[in-house]
Structure 1
């Protein structure tokens, strides 16, 4: 059984955000530029990096809800840079007056920010396409970009680490919202990015209508059965051509990573993501991949 503090943490954070944050509405462009400017300039977000013949596509990392371009990728970005990739990360979904904690604005607007950032990466690197790796919301939001904003022409692969592709019930807690009058409206107004991720939301209904994928892009979903945020965890999986759904514990039964750890610290997940970025040179992912 999950500890109570782990069970209650997502709901507490959601409620706190909805009750205290300012409504999204004003442009967050200045906040985006400031946060991106403060991101590491050595290793990743190096705008002088030129993709090699071995790794011709730059990798764009898309953080999760409450994350940002730096803290979500302190482990994985250097992991990729060390292996010869040009790596970039963006901030998106900012709320006015709320620093550091991003991914809270309307997801359709966040996808527009991703669109602009990918164009910037392509212009700087001269590459024809990028690969995207996203954690949580960052693994799902790019699908709006691919489907509705022309992103499929600029993206080769999307790798999602615990993505909420079909929303979340938050261990069933979202189903209690109707019993608290005004709660759902408050969440939708104050933190629309959270409301968009609730299973059955209008955003997700539109996103998944007509199929999960678009032609020309390969999709990899890497999930953990211990996920306590995106539940049920199999709702993360996609269906369609060019899709591979992976459960970490099928690769290493000893891997106990939950939702946060799969993106921040799990080298087994990272190894499998690396395989998705370079399938021609993929190596089996096992428990020993923690040492790779």
Structure 2
């Protein structure tokens, strides 16, 4: 249970809740018999979207709206917190065929809505309970904060997903930083007992020899500054103190299975072979897309939208135990 505090100060109402903001979710307060200094408090379970006396929340954030006393206040979540299609239905009940909810973790500079706009509905249509989050937001730009801190955010989100779904474990699918960062959660924050499978799409497991910088469309209009402070970028440089710590315990930890999906045309996490994890075949499968579909031109940023990648992710998640089937052959769908 978390405490929500709605503070009304005419003519401006500032609503603040503790938790993770459910994307696209409207919050409607009860009629507020408020004066200029009235504060209304309510409690509810943010992980399940429970109704509190004064509203419905599944998250955190501060939202401002004009309000008069004795008014009903309706506010919408900020647009940057929009969920991808099919994700964050907190009433979803896992099926016997797909008992593990799937958590999608975006990459550096990416929001969940952009990064998972195609894979999320694909997995939802397969019958999975799908969840996604934004994390590591600094200066209004997602997934740029210290990666160890972001792993702690992921830890709390996994706990909420498990509580809401009733599942014992979850599967994680991540892109770029989002495919590597969960390894810190598994190895250093107790996540190995809560995760069955980790699937990394172009993950920065051993860092990159290049530079990670945002494209213009990845910089919010509110900042307009491409010279953003990005500790996550520094953390993903090959040989960084963070990666040295991460990999000091080996590439794998006991418990989860691992699947890595890479493209030889990756221009961000280079060389692309650095994405692979070392371990026995019953624990990890490393896949190069072009080994299966030689004509597939997919690069780093768009890899989560590749129909071939969708099939490979589905195969990895569909295993009763262990990583993706190394013998699986996807249908090579022409792109472009």
TM-score range, shorter chain: 0.7 to 0.9
**Structure 2-normalised TM-score?**
0.68
CA RMSD of aligned residues (A): 2.5
> Gaps (5+ residues) in structure 2?
1-16, 26-80, 214-226
Specify whether residues 34 and 87 from structure 1 end up closer, same or farther in structure 2 by C-alpha distance, changes over 3 A only. closer
For 1:197-243, what per-residue CA distance to the aligned partner results, in whole angstroms no more than 9, with x for missing partners?
A: 00000000000013111001100000000000000000000002301
Contact 1:132 1:158 in 2 (8 A): yes
The equivalent of 1:60 in structure 2 is 103
For 1:33-77, what per-residue CA distance to the aligned partner results, in whole angstroms no more than 9, with x for missing partners?
A: 275754348622100000000000000000000001211000000
1:191-270 superposed matches below 5 A: 191-241=230-280, 242-263=283-304, 265-270=305-310
SS in 1 for 2:180: helix
How far off is 1:254 after superposition?
1.1
The equivalent of 1:50 in structure 2 is 93
1:1-292 superposed matches below 5 A: 33=21, 37=25, 38-40=81-83, 43-95=86-138, 97-98=139-140, 101-170=141-210, 190-241=229-280, 242-263=283-304, 265-280=305-320, 284-288=328-332
Report the structure number with the largest CA radius of gyration.
2
**Structure 1-normalised TM-score?**
0.78
Contact 1:251 1:287 in 2 (8 A): no
The equivalent of 2:57 in structure 1 is none
Q: Give the Cα–Cα distance (whole angstroms) in 2 for the partners of residues 138 and 39 of structure 1.
A: 18
Specify whether residues 69 and 260 from structure 1 end up closer, same or farther in structure 2 by C-alpha distance, changes over 3 A only. same
Specify whether residues 35 and 192 from structure 1 end up closer, same or farther in structure 2 by C-alpha distance, changes over 3 A only. farther
Contact 1:167 1:235 in 2 (8 A): yes
Q: Give the Cα–Cα distance (whole angstroms) in 1 for the partners of residues 126 and 266 of structure 2.
A: 28
Specify whether residues 145 and 84 from structure 1 end up closer, same or farther in structure 2 by C-alpha distance, changes over 3 A only. same
SS in 1 for 2:21: helix
SS in 2 for 1:158: strand
Q: Which has the higher helix share?
A: 1
Contact 1:268 1:290 in 2 (8 A): no
> Gaps (5+ residues) in structure 1?
1-28, 174-186
Q: Which has the higher contact order (CA 8 A, sep 6+)?
A: 1
SS in 1 for 2:285: strand
Runs of 4+ more than 6 Å apart? none
Specify whether residues 49 and 149 from structure 1 end up closer, same or farther in structure 2 by C-alpha distance, changes over 3 A only. same
